[in-house]
Structure 1
Amino acid sequence: MSIIEMTNVHFVRNQQVILKNINWTVEKNEHWVILGLNGSGKSSLLKLIMAENWKTNGELTVLGTRFGVDRIPELRAKIGIVGSFIAERFRPDIVAENLVLTGRYNASMLYRAFSDTDLDEARGLMRQIGADQLIGRIYGTLSQGEKQLLLIARSLMINPEILILDEATSGLDLFAKERLLEKLHNITQLENGPTLLYITHHPDEITSDFKKVLLLRDGQVFNHGTPPEILTEEILSDFYQMPVSVNIINDAYFVLPKKS
């Protein structure tokens, strides 16, 4: 079952072509990594999916919603997003499970009445993804990695069908990044869990949970396929426009410039 279908999609803003001729299909539970350098169009592609940007040309369908034909507001409630930019929206004194519960209302604070049952649901979700050690903690006292894990739990409160992780490991040290990637594995094991779209410019973050890779360069799809097909020295050297070496260590892909 296809949950995202793009056919010849273009996006132009202020007479500048941001995305050009995007053809891409995502199947349910087919977790993807979108890999590209800064300025490649990754965030613009995501905003098209979330209906924050509007395609200029082409055909776009997300979760059965055809852009330009069907109603969009209902679609936004089916997509969760996690990114370091969201972390700044919350008061530092909010309790962890209260923050998770705000995901249900797409707010930064709990402006509506809530019950102990609601909080128990938030705590249960935290336990499901391995964040139970954060229950009862104050948001402002958490590390950056702990905050990101909490935001992931928050995004799951609406039971999204698609979960977008936009540079989710930004600002994390080596060990915090590894712990966060391990927690993402828990999400892929959830019954009726979301399809993940993981945006990064670090190939070493592509774990075995991700079955497909989309290479995006200069607003165009450069290549796509399974990690073994795409993450080769030949393809990546062409993609980065400079010779690179690829080393696979513990199923992680480490890409480095080749020394002349």
Structure 2
Amino acid sequence: MAIIELTAVDFVRNQHHILKNINWTVEKNEHWAILGLNGSGKSSLLKLIMAENWKTNGELTVLGTRFGIDRIPELRAKIGIVGSFIAERFRPDIVAENLVLTGRYNSSMLYREFSEADLDEARALMHQIGAEHLIGRIYGTLSQGEKQLLLIARSLMINPQILILDEATSGLDLFAKARLLEKLHHITQLKNGPTLLYITHHPDEITTDFQKVLLLRDGEVFDSGTPAELLTAPLLSDFYQMPVTVDNINDAYFVLPKKS
């Protein structure tokens, strides 16, 4: 069963062809990594899926909602988003569990009345993903990795069917990145958990939790398939348009420019 389906989708803005002839299908229970260099169209593709941007041509269906035919507001309540750009929206003095609770209302502040039971639900979710040590902490005092972990908990407050992670490890050190990827592993094991769409330009972040990879270059789909099929030196050398080496160490793919 397809939960995302794009057929011949174009996205044009200010006469600039940002996405061209995108054909892509995500089946239920598939977790995808979307790999590409800066400016390849990764974030633009996600904004189409979230209905923040509108396709110029083609057919787009997400969770059974056909863009241009069905109502969109209900769809947005089924998609969670985590990205470094969201981290800047919150007051630095907000308490961690209060921030997590904002995910229920898709806002950066708690504009509505809430109860201790609501906060207990947020705390329970923090326990579920291993963020219980952040309960009671002040957001502005947290490290970048701790903030990202809170944003993941926040995104799960609406029980999303799709969870988008846009450069979620941006600004994290080596160990914080490893811890965050470990938390994502726990999410993939949740019963009735969300489908993950993980956007990155670092192949080493494509863990065994991701069954499929989409390669984007210059706004076009270069290729798609399993990590074993795509993350090879010959194919990635063609993709990056320069010779690279690929080493698989502990199921992580490390890509480096090939020395001349």
TM-score, length-scaled by structure 1 = 0.99
- The one-character-per-residue Cα deviations of 1:98-135 (angstroms, maximum 9, x if unpaired) are 00000000111111111111011101111111111111
Matching residue's letter, 1:134: L
- Hey, what's the Cα distance between the residues in 1 that align with 2:214 and 2:83? 19
- Hey, what's the Cα distance between the residues in 2 that align with 1:105 and 1:183? 23
Structure 1 residue 13: Cα displacement: 0.7
Q: State the secondary structure of the residue aligned to 1:58.
A: strand
- Hey, what's the Cα distance between the residues in 1 that align with 2:149 and 2:29? 21
1:25 aligned residue: 25
2:205 aligned residue: 205
Equivalent residues in 2 for 1:187-198, closer than 5 Å:
187-198=187-198
1:141 aligned residue: 141
Structure 1 residue 210: Cα displacement: 0.4
- Hey, what's the Cα distance between the residues in 2 that align with 1:35 and 1:189? 23
Structure 1 residue 185: Cα displacement: 0.5
1:130 aligned residue: 130
Structure 1 residue 28: Cα displacement: 1.3
1:96 aligns with 2:65: no
1:12 aligns with 2:12: yes
Matching residue's letter, 1:96: A
- Hey, what's the Cα distance between the residues in 1 that align with 2:229 and 2:76? 33
- Hey, what's the Cα distance between the residues in 1 that align with 2:50 and 2:109? 22
1:246 aligned residue: 246
1:170 aligned residue: 170
- Hey, what's the Cα distance between the residues in 1 that align with 2:94 and 2:45? 32
1:221 aligned residue: 221
Q: State the secondary structure of the residue aligned to 2:196.
A: strand
1:70 aligns with 2:73: no
- The one-character-per-residue Cα deviations of 1:129-148 (angstroms, maximum 9, x if unpaired) are 11111111111111000000
- Hey, what's the Cα distance between the residues in 1 that align with 2:191 and 2:101? 20
Structure 1 residue 53: Cα displacement: 0.7
Q: How many residues were matched structurally?
A: 260
Q: State the secondary structure of the residue aligned to 1:148.
A: helix
Unpaired runs of 5+ residues, structure 2, are: none
- Hey, what's the Cα distance between the residues in 2 that align with 1:159 and 1:193? 8
- The one-character-per-residue Cα deviations of 1:233-256 (angstroms, maximum 9, x if unpaired) are 111000000000000011000000
1:180 aligns with 2:180: yes
| Identical counterparts, % of pairs | 87
2:87 aligned residue: 87
- Hey, what's the Cα distance between the residues in 1 that align with 2:92 and 2:113? 21
1:157 aligned residue: 157
- Hey, what's the Cα distance between the residues in 1 that align with 2:63 and 2:57? 19
Structure 1 residue 151: Cα displacement: 0.3
- Hey, what's the Cα distance between the residues in 1 that align with 2:22 and 2:40? 13
The CA RMSD over aligned residues, in Å, is: 0.5
Matching residue's letter, 1:71: R
Structure 1 residue 206: Cα displacement: 0.4
- Hey, what's the Cα distance between the residues in 1 that align with 2:174 and 2:232? 24
Structure 1 residue 29: Cα displacement: 1.7
- Hey, what's the Cα distance between the residues in 1 that align with 2:104 and 2:57? 33
Q: State the secondary structure of the residue aligned to 1:207.
A: coil
1:53 aligned residue: 53
Q: State the secondary structure of the residue aligned to 1:82.
A: strand
- Hey, what's the Cα distance between the residues in 2 that align with 1:132 and 1:248? 33
Unpaired runs of 5+ residues, structure 1, are: none
- Hey, what's the Cα distance between the residues in 2 that align with 1:8 and 1:111? 41
- Hey, what's the Cα distance between the residues in 1 that align with 2:192 and 2:138? 30
- Hey, what's the Cα distance between the residues in 1 that align with 2:107 and 2:10? 31
- The one-character-per-residue Cα deviations of 1:52-88 (angstroms, maximum 9, x if unpaired) are 1111111100000000110011101100100001101
